[in-house]
Structure 1
Amino acid sequence: MNRKGCPDEYPISLIINGYEMAVFQLTNSDLDDWTYGYLFSEGFIQEASDIESVHINESLGTINVSLRADFDETHVFSKKKHYTAGCGRGVTFFSMTDVKSFAKVTSNKAYPLSYLLKKRSQFAQNSELYLETGGMHGACIVDEQGGITIREDIGRHNAVDKIIGHALRNCLQPERLILLTTGRVSYEMLSKAAKFGFPVIGSRTAATKQAVQLAKYLNIEVIGYLRGKMATIYTSLGRVENDLSVDLAVEMH
């Protein structure tokens, strides 16, 4: 029997301007990217320069963040928390109503379905932690030149925060990027992608009804079940060109 190693998860406390926000279950990799991505996704920062410093203490399991602006914890924690589903469970402060207030995506860039399937395959082949353990989620951005960048975590939403943090720290513009994920696209996953402004999201599995409704409202193309030579296009906004045989059963929703 070919046994894989066990995936790691650690309790890590996020402290903002001296105030302990919460303890998160995370994979101990790319924690700086996660910090930037999570704080952006949840509206604590609008750009990377809003963070003055990040200090990660792996032995204590803490991430200490200094924001340039004052942190009003009373205002933040008066908002209702929404607990996310799935492994590496997290929390978001955005409701579906909040997400609907995000800016709508205006990109008109279209991609052949064969291209998305090829990039999804490259993503899978280069997900090192998944290949090592068989129990990790991943998120990947495809840039305009076809290059891929991957981040992995025990939690699918943590992986997306990590890749958003990478994009934010490197001043990448979302209009020409594709977001690929191994996890189910639920409303909180859609909200993270929408906050950054990704015009196309592809997943190896399904999207929830709520996520599809939000995607249509925010003009985001969502493609599920990107595997081998198949896909489900949930939103049909014209950003995916089916250049493959109809026998491949690309289901239009």
Structure 2
Amino acid sequence: MWSRAPLPGPYLLKPDPLDSKLSTSVSGTDQNGETVETRVVTEKPLTLYLNSQEVVTMMTIGDHPDLLAVGYLKNQNMLADDDVIIEIDFDEDLDVVVVRTERETNFEEKLKKKVRTSGCAQGTVFGDVMEGFETVSLAPDATLRTSWLYGLTKTINTTPSLYLEAGAIHGCVLCQEDRPLVYMEDVGRHNAVDKIAGWMVLNEVPAEDKIFYTTGRLTSEMVIKTVMMGIPILVSRSGFTAWGVELARQAGLTLIGRARGKRFVALSGAERIDFDMDPGNADDEPEKAKRKGSLAVK
């Protein structure tokens, strides 16, 4: 009911940088005083309701509102594993998405405990989002081969995307072994994560054999969401925060950052890494990805 048609190639779902609703061309002036045209991503509000209760208004590029809504609710502990979603309604004119469940819900007290996160686009979580974090058991036998990691970073960094087209956006990718499965982008990394979480929920996708890749920083929020999704390995092309590392070690999450070309650093869970490939045999990062990586939001 919820799945989208598979795409040719390695991805089941990926960005469409040519979608006119996601970016637009804007005239500007460059350092030489010349008129230039540049692409900029869109940003619009999306108000989320769970049944009859307003939950939050998010700033988003506007694609996959159903996935974003379900993933947000799941990652905020507002959807239980046994909750049955009976309907998802999206009103494009009002920028409103409503998720309806069989079970009656009331999160009035929970909604009072908001915490502003370090994410872009004013990320918000609720104060008890850590409920259950200490009880999550990540798959101890999950493996990340370095050959998979080098292959994934090359494929992801050369995939046509808004990140390469316009910058100022975050990308997150759900992977399995050396195959990227679902690639989501948004102005805030938390939105991109939640879209993937929503896709996993609606398609009943297991998490224990998956790898999560992000272009953004490895913050506490990213670690918490990855752990709560049950994914044992988190990889980023960017750096770490101290609390993110501490939480990853606490949860037994494999945390790899600064993964660019032949290089990476693991600050947690290195026992899951199988060093099966000489870094000297890996490809350098594409020049276009390097340039965008220095300009895009981190």
Question: Which residue number corresponds to residue 288 of structure 2?
Answer: none
For residue 216 of structure 2, the aligned residue among 172, 177, 183 is 183
Q: What SS class does the counterpart of residue 74 from structure 1 fall into?
A: coil
Matched letter for residue 51 of structure 1 = I
Deviation at 1:213, TM superposition (A): 0.9
Deviation at 1:245, TM superposition (A): 4.9
Matched letter for residue 216 of structure 1 = R
Give the Cα–Cα distance (whole angstroms) in 1 for the partners of residues 53 and 244 of structure 2.
32
TM-score (norm 1): 0.89
For residue 99 of structure 2, the aligned residue among 55, 58, 65 is 65
Give the Cα–Cα distance (whole angstroms) in 2 for the partners of residues 45 and 185 of structure 1.
25
Deviation at 1:117, TM superposition (A): 2.3
Closer, same or farther: CA 23–139 of 1 in aligned 2, 3 Å: same
Question: Which residue number corresponds to residue 101 of structure 1?
Answer: 134
Q: What SS class does the counterpart of residue 60 from structure 1 fall into?
A: coil
CA contact (8 A) 1:107 1:175 kept: no
Give the Cα–Cα distance (whole angstroms) in 2 for the partners of residues 185 and 94 of structure 1.
20
Instruction: Tell me the C-alpha RMSD between the 2 structures.
Output: 2.3
Closer, same or farther: CA 163–174 of 1 in aligned 2, 3 Å: same
Matched, 1:12 2:43: no
Q: Deviations over 1:123-154 (max 9, x none)?
A: 12225221221221111011257243201111
Deviation at 1:107, TM superposition (A): 3.1
Matched, 1:74 2:116: no
Question: Which residue number corresponds to residue 84 of structure 1?
Answer: 117
Question: Which residue number corresponds to residue 169 of structure 2?
Answer: 136
The structure with more radius of gyration: 2
Question: Which residue number corresponds to residue 191 of structure 2?
Answer: 158
Closer, same or farther: CA 97–153 of 1 in aligned 2, 3 Å: closer
Deviation at 1:167, TM superposition (A): 1.5
Deviation at 1:246, TM superposition (A): 7.6
Deviation at 1:49, TM superposition (A): 5.2
Question: Which residue number corresponds to residue 215 of structure 1?
Answer: 248
Percent identity of equivalent pairs? 27
CA contact (8 A) 1:48 1:168 kept: no
Matched letter for residue 15 of structure 1 = Y
CA contact (8 A) 2:46 2:57 kept: yes
The structure with the greater share of residues assigned to helix is 1
Q: What SS class does the counterpart of residue 119 from structure 1 fall into?
A: helix
How many aligned positions are there? 247
Deviation at 1:16, TM superposition (A): 1.6
Matched, 1:148 2:204: no
Deviation at 1:177, TM superposition (A): 0.5
Extract unaligned runs of 5+ from structure 1: 249-253
Closer, same or farther: CA 83–102 of 1 in aligned 2, 3 Å: farther
Closer, same or farther: CA 99–85 of 1 in aligned 2, 3 Å: farther
Give the Cα–Cα distance (whole angstroms) in 2 for the partners of residues 226 and 95 of structure 1.
31
Extract unaligned runs of 5+ from structure 2: 1-29, 31-35, 282-298
Give the Cα–Cα distance (whole angstroms) in 2 for the partners of residues 35 and 124 of structure 1.
27
Question: Which residue number corresponds to residue 18 of structure 2?
Answer: none
Q: What SS class does the counterpart of residue 109 from structure 2 fall into?
A: helix
CA contact (8 A) 2:253 2:269 kept: no
Deviation at 1:239, TM superposition (A): 1.2
Give the Cα–Cα distance (whole angstroms) in 2 for the partners of residues 181 and 97 of structure 1.
21
Give the Cα–Cα distance (whole angstroms) in 1 for the partners of residues 90 and 129 of structure 2.
32
Deviation at 1:76, TM superposition (A): 2.0
Q: Deviations over 1:60-86 (max 9, x none)?
A: 1111121221111323224x2111113
Question: Which residue number corresponds to residue 4 of structure 2?
Answer: none
CA contact (8 A) 1:102 1:195 kept: no
Q: What SS class does the counterpart of residue 135 from structure 1 fall into?
A: coil
